[in-house]
Amino acid sequence: MSLIEIKNVTMGYEGVPVLKNLSFVVNKGDYLCIVGENGSGKSTLMKGILGLNAPIDGEIVYNNLDKSEIGYLPQKKMIQKDFPASVMEVVLSGCVKRKFHIFHNRYDREIAEKNISIVKMSNHKKRSFSDLSGGQQQRVLLARALCATEKVIVLDEPVTGLDPIATADMYSLIKEINRKGITVIMVTHDINSAVRNASHILHISDTAFYGTAHQYIHSEVGNKFLLTECPCDVCSHLPKRRGDNV
C-alpha cells in the first residue's frame, strides 16, 4: 500500500533546482535508504517530504497520512551546544501535535517514557541533553521523532559522526522500529549497511536509481559504488567498473 508518492518532483531554492524530475513511491513498512553525494539534494528532498519546502514542480501525495504525522530526525546541525534542556524535555517536544493542551498531560508523558525506553535512555531522563555523548543525543532525537509519529520516520544522516559502536546501536534501533511496522526513510552515506538493512534504495545522481536493495546491488550504479564485490552470477559477468572507485 503506497504511503507517499513522489511524482516528477523538482526541488530547489529560489527557483534554482537542485533535484530534477524525481519519481518514486514509499510503501507502508518500507525501509528506504537514500544515498548520493554531498550536495546532491538528499536533505532538500527530505524537507520536501516533510512539507518544510514546497516542490518547484511536480507533487508529493500522501495516502492516509498527514505530513505533520511524519517523525523527523534532522541532519546534525549545530543544535546549540549549551541549550538547557533535559532529555525528558527534548523527547516531550515531539508530542506537540494533535490536541492542544497547555502543559504536557499524562498521556504525552507515557508516550515519551515509552520511546525513551525504546532507545534505551531511561537511566538518563533527567540529564541535560547537551551533556550527552553524540550517540546518546542521536538516540534521544530518535525518541523525540518517534513521539511525533506512528507511521513514518525520516532520518537524515543519523549515524554521521558516531563511533562504530554507537553506529551499530543506532542501526539496530532503526531496524527494530521498522520491524514494529514504522516506515523508515533514511539518508545515509553508508552504502554497505544500506544494502544490508534497507528494503529499497534511492540513489540520487544525474540519473537517479530507485529499486529494491537487491536490484541496487546488481545495478550498474550500485555496482560502481559498492565497495564489496558481489559474487553472484549476474554481477561477475558485468563489465568491471569498480576499479576506478576502489
Ligand X SMILES: Nc1ncnc2c1ncn2[C@@H]1O[C@H](COP(=O)(O)OP(=O)(O)O)[C@@H](O)[C@H]1O
Contact residues toward another protein (CB under 8 A) are 47, 50-52, 66, 68-72, 74, 79-80, 82-86, 89-90, 92-94, 96-97, 102-104, 126, 128, 130-131, 144-145, 148, 154
Please report whether residue 115 would count as binding Mg ion according to CB under 5 A: no
230: three-class secondary structure by DSSP? coil
Please report whether residue 200 would count as binding ligand X according to CB under 6 A: no
Using CA atoms, how far residue 156 sits from 15, 71, 110, in Å, is 24, 11, 26
Q: Which stretch binds ligand X (CB under 6 A): 25-33, 39-47, 132-140, 167-175?
A: 39-47
Distance in Å, CB of 156 to ligand X, minimum: 7
Q: From ligand X, Mg ion, another protein, none, which one binds at residue 38 (CB under 5 to 8 Å depending on kind)?
A: ligand X
Using CA atoms, how far residue 19 sits from 35, 50, 57, in Å, is 13, 16, 10
Distance in Å, CB of 18 to ligand X, minimum: 4
Q: Which stretch binds ligand X (CB under 6 A): 31-39, 102-110, 147-155, 169-177?
A: 31-39
Please give the residues from 62 up to 101 whose contact with Mg ion meets the rule CB under 5 A: 75
Enter the DSSP assignment of 86.
B
Distance in Å, CB of 218 to another protein, minimum: 35
Distance in Å, CB of 87 to another protein, minimum: 9
Nearer to ligand X, 13 or 83 (CB): 13
- CA angle, 167 then 67 then 93, to 5°: 60
Q: In this structure, which amino acid lies at residue 120?
A: K
CB 176 within 8 A of CB 197: no
DSSP of 92-122, one letter per residue?
Answer: HGGG-SSS--SS--HHHHHHHHHHHHHTT-G
Distance in Å, CB of 74 to ligand X, minimum: 11
Q: From another protein, Mg ion, ligand X, none, which one binds at residue 66 (CB under 5 to 8 Å depending on kind)?
A: another protein
The CA radius of gyration of the chain, in Å to the nearest whole number, is 19
Please report whether residue 42 would count as binding ligand X according to CB under 6 A: yes
Q: Which of 5, 10, 17, 18 binds ligand X (CB under 6 A)?
A: 18
Per the structure block, which three cell numbers stand in for 133? 555523548
Q: From Mg ion, ligand X, another protein, none, which one binds at residue 85 (CB under 5 to 8 Å depending on kind)?
A: another protein
HSE, side-chain direction, 13 A CA sphere, residue 23: 4
Please report whether residue 43 would count as binding Mg ion according to CB under 5 A: yes
Enter the DSSP assignment of 242.
G
Edge-to-edge strand order for the sheet containing 2-13? Answer: 16-27, 2-13, 57-62
**Contact residues for ligand X, defined by CB under 6 A:** 13, 18, 36, 38-44
